[in-house]
Structure 1
């Protein structure tokens, strides 16, 4: 099983300020003034082209396809991803896809746009999505919620964790937007992290996933299994951002056989090339 994992795509889309409200105005201005140049269209095109040429069994996208969850951003994201949206694709939302309340309910824009690739709901009251691809089970959680302040926290409710662990009886890959672990060089602020991730990790010990795939923090890494989190944690964010001295960006191609092998691809000189994965022992970071 070869799993291609991308995240935090933040596809560029020009919006009218008159079409925004609340914190979306501040968020969009921040994107236009600070982050737009970090996600050039040429990189987006190169990503789609690179993925189209790779052999994989499953494509996992762990959120943040948009910037401020504007309706036209969802349409734009679907159009860009259209060559890659197949039965092999599994998508979950990120905090930027839940940036505004209207992106959550009662007819969520994310689900409306990407429902075909979200898998099946395991509980009508909880966001627990399930999809089998190539005989492998993928479970998706939504750790995001619309917050009126300019913060990016996440949370996974106890009922979501317990329900998942009670229903899943076979090896699985867990996909969620927020990290469960960070290297010491990438510690998240209190306004950015999943607020109960220690609890999540502790409960997952009873039925740990094969992999935990996430994004949110725009630097690639692979946290190897350890005593506290006995499973690999893989960050492929941001797959559409230019790397700099503070961000190692790209995506991973993960092969699960008797063992797990990792390949990493980065953008360099107008194309994606293969490079060395960035591995950490659990002791080199924090939960």
Structure 2
């Protein structure tokens, strides 16, 4: 049996000190949004408690689906690198980047450099994404939808070249009998698309999954706990989102902070996979198991 923890939308706080020269371009609107709304909705105490609870589960692997930073300032990216080291060893932890990690041009490249092995794995054609990590019978495939965008937009992008590599990777891993978990920050299902914060290329992504199949897709971005499905090769593929890991209980924008824990095991010619959702509720100060359900 392999246990997989999923956490997302870290949004490390508080915001670091910055010079006036740091607030250019999109970072101006992002900073104002943080000061006016987000600083009270996302906090470090909530994140610390949730991560400590998750680490007690001693998962075999942890998937982080992006948005470790807020404005992708160099100091934020360095702090996120330290946070990852505290979260777990890079051999047992992988990241797929979010739109806040690619907030401005050059930020994602800096994150890839500073976060090192947390953003690396087996790849095709020397391209950074998708990359693969294998743990027992489970293969974690980390895609990237993170691109810099104009102010007031939080869209992601998934293009043909990455789709072609994902197609080949899913075929190879499927033929080898792995339980394939695809990570992507922006949700790929049609129900969660929006002109200002959806995934450009979501149809391309879904076409690959319909052609090659996968066992599970994990995402963040929405700051909501959710379960949808998209067509796969021979069965519907669950698409599972998780609330922001730093979302405070009293917030009005998001679900309170949560993480998911999956227990995956080969079961004859098929799979057994159960999901437990842990986190805060609207009322009460404890972290509880909010839900348990069978995925396969």
TM-score (norm 2): 0.84
SS of 2:247's equivalent?
A: coil
- Aligned match for 1:263, one of 276, 280, 287: 276
Alignment length (residue pairs): 274
CA–CA distance in structure 1, aligned partners of residues 8 and 204 of structure 2: 24
- Aligned match for 1:79, one of 59, 78, 82: 82
What corresponds to 1:41 in structure 2? 44
Check if 1:32 corresponds to 2:35. Answer: yes
SS of 1:73's equivalent?
A: helix
What corresponds to 1:248 in structure 2? 255
CA–CA distance in structure 1, aligned partners of residues 16 and 253 of structure 2: 26
What corresponds to 1:95 in structure 2? 99
Task: Measure how far apart 1:50 and its partner are.
Answer: 0.8
Mark the CA change 1:227 to 1:125 in structure 2 (over 3 Å): closer, same or farther: closer
Report if aligned partners of 2:206, 2:231 keep a CA contact under 8 Å in 1: no
For structure 2, list consecutive stretches of 5 or more residues without a partner in the other structure: 266-270
What corresponds to 1:274 in structure 2? 289
Mark the CA change 1:260 to 1:90 in structure 2 (over 3 Å): closer, same or farther: same
CA–CA distance in structure 1, aligned partners of residues 116 and 38 of structure 2: 28
Report if aligned partners of 2:97, 2:144 keep a CA contact under 8 Å in 1: yes
- Aligned match for 2:132, one of 130, 133, 156: 130
CA–CA distance in structure 2, aligned partners of residues 279 and 21 of structure 1: 47
Question: Following superposition of structure 1 onto structure 2, how do residues 180-259 of structure 1 map, counting pairs within 5 Å?
Answer: 180-181=188-189, 187-224=192-229, 230-243=236-249, 244=251, 247-249=254-256, 250-257=258-265, 258-259=271-272
RMSD: 2.4
CA–CA distance in structure 2, aligned partners of residues 278 and 238 of structure 1: 20
Mark the CA change 1:225 to 1:198 in structure 2 (over 3 Å): closer, same or farther: closer
Report if aligned partners of 1:57, 1:134 keep a CA contact under 8 Å in 2: no
SS of 2:106's equivalent?
A: helix
Report if aligned partners of 2:159, 2:204 keep a CA contact under 8 Å in 1: no
Query: CA offsets per residue over residues 104-147 of structure 1, 9 Å max, x none?
Result: 3xxx1211121211232323346221222334211111112112
For structure 1, list consecutive stretches of 5 or more residues without a partner in the other structure: 281-287
What corresponds to 2:268 in structure 1? none
CA–CA distance in structure 2, aligned partners of residues 47 and 81 of structure 1: 14
TM-score (norm 1): 0.87
